[in-house]
Structure 1
Amino acid sequence: MTQFILVAGAWLGSWAWRDVEPDLRAAGHGVHPLTLSGLAEQQGVAAGLQKHVQDIVDEVERLDLRDVVLVGHSYAGIPVGQAAEQIGDRLARVVFVDSNVPVDGESFLTGWPDGRAGVEAAIAANEGFWPPPAVADCADQGLTDEQIARFIGGSTPHPGPTLTDPAVLERPLGLLPATYVKCLLDWPEPSMEVAELLTSERWRLVTMDTGHWPMFSQPRELARILLDAAEPDPAGSGA
């Protein structure tokens, strides 16, 4: 039985996976959506990037999970990628859902040069938090008005230090068994960093014809991709 740890991106908590969970559970797997420190019901807990990494590692160890598939969406790919190498042989696979990937010594904002200044200004103007997006930011992402309302309504300010702290990797990310899910409406091509990682025989690319938040726009399709990722790798490239 696979154990899925589901970690949503900026502004979101465990609640974001509500429509993805049923199909994973129906297939007989363990499902553990996780809210990172400082977000949703964990608001008020101080958080930097390594605290988010530890949140994930602690959840795996607290529940004594094996055959773990770590799923990181958007920003959460950065702490998930770091946690993946820390949980050792408990890991079965990592799934990066239209996400950033950690680069040793670099932060979330390092990998977003065009938007960096705007995010830093927003964090400075909002007491150290990145404010949630507006409805207009969700345009052309395959979301219905109801889905946008749920996304915006549940979002909470994101702790700024998690976006500016550098990632710490002990070994090349390409050595991890991984699936990268590219959402084509958001941007049709993987980033340069992801494209390089996809040259590894341990990495697979899957595309979705939807926007950046597929847990809202296409939850059942995303669940199917996660279930496929949990299948044994025919090439035998385990963790």
Structure 2
Amino acid sequence: MVNYVLAAGAWLGAWAWDEVVPLLRTAGHGAYPLTLSGLADKRGVPAGQQTHVEDIVGEVDRLGLDDVVLVGHSYSGIPVGQAAERIGERLRHVIFVDSDVPVDGESFVSRWPDFRPAVEASMAENEGFWAPPPPAEFAGHGLTDEQIERIVGSVTPHPGATLTEPAELAGPLAELPATYIKCVLDGPELIPVEAEILSSEKWRLVELETGHWPMLSAPDELARILLDAAER
């Protein structure tokens, strides 16, 4: 038995894992979806990036978990990667689901210079929050109309400080046992940071034929990959 702690990406909460969690539990494992501060049912809680790191570490501590598999989707790969380092021997594996990975001293927005002005403009217009995207942005990702409707009806603005605060790493991320899941409908190419780190013998790349929100578009396939990674 292993224990999965799952954090979804920007604008999302624990609800995003509703179809994946039962599959992990049916396989005999613990599965703990986590809403990060400032989002979904924790909307209104002040949050920076290090708050999100502490959310994840705190959940592992609160539940007294060992043999932990941390799962970070999209933005949440940044705090998950930092938390993986901080939980030490309790970590079994870390899984990045079509996600960013933390780079010491870099923030989410500093990693995306072409994208940064749009994010910062959204934050300026929304009292420091990154507004959720319109429904059209979810097209082409393998989602049904009903799934897109569910996402659009459930997302909440994302706390801007989590996007601008830099990551803090004590050691090389490549030394952690990790799997990177690339969702090919979101673009088949890895960005240079991920491509470089995947040269580590401790990291493995898995491609998934779906879009950026696989917990909704391909929950069965995603669960199989998560279960396989825990055996490594």
**CA distance in structure 1 between the partners assigned to 2:152 and 2:230 by the alignment:** 30
1:36 paired with 2:36, answer yes
What is the correspondence of 1:57-136 to structure 2 with a 5 Å cutoff? 57-136=57-136
Hey, what does 1:13 align to over in structure 2?
13
Give deviations 1:112-140, integer Å, cap 9, x for gaps: 11111000000011000001111111111
Hey, what does 2:50 align to over in structure 1?
50
Q: Unmatched 5+ residue regions in structure 1?
A: 234-239
Q: CA deviation at 1:200?
A: 0.2
What is the correspondence of 1:171-186 to structure 2 with a 5 Å cutoff? 171-186=171-186
Hey, what does 1:23 align to over in structure 2?
23
Q: CA deviation at 1:191?
A: 1.1
Q: What letter is aligned with 1:133?
A: P
Q: What letter is aligned with 2:102?
A: P
Q: CA deviation at 1:110?
A: 1.1
**CA distance in structure 2 between the partners assigned to 1:114 and 1:135 by the alignment:** 22
**CA distance in structure 2 between the partners assigned to 1:72 and 1:186 by the alignment:** 16
1:170 paired with 2:170, answer yes
TM-score if structure 1 supplies the norm length? 0.96
Hey, what does 1:199 align to over in structure 2?
199
Q: Unmatched 5+ residue regions in structure 2?
A: none
What secondary structure, in the 3-state scheme, does the structure 2 residue paired with 1:110 have? Answer: helix
Q: What letter is aligned with 2:92?
A: A
Give deviations 1:26-64, integer Å, cap 9, x for gaps: 000000000000000001100000000000000001111
Hey, what does 2:225 align to over in structure 1?
225
Q: CA deviation at 1:166?
A: 0.3
TM-score if structure 2 supplies the norm length? 0.99
Hey, what does 1:237 align to over in structure 2?
none
Q: What letter is aligned with 1:170?
A: A
Q: What letter is aligned with 1:216?
A: L
**CA distance in structure 1 between the partners assigned to 2:188 and 2:113 by the alignment:** 19
Q: What letter is aligned with 1:199?
A: S
**CA distance in structure 1 between the partners assigned to 2:151 and 2:33 by the alignment:** 16
Aligned length: 232
**CA distance in structure 1 between the partners assigned to 2:124 and 2:222 by the alignment:** 35
Give deviations 1:3-33, integer Å, cap 9, x for gaps: 0000000000000000111110100000000
Give deviations 1:67-119, integer Å, cap 9, x for gaps: 00000000000000000000000000000000000000000011111111000
What secondary structure, in the 3-state scheme, does the structure 2 residue paired with 1:226 have? Answer: helix
Q: CA deviation at 1:189?
A: 1.2
Where is the helix percentage greater, Structure 1 or Structure 2? 2
**CA distance in structure 1 between the partners assigned to 2:175 and 2:42 by the alignment:** 32
Q: What letter is aligned with 2:99?
A: S
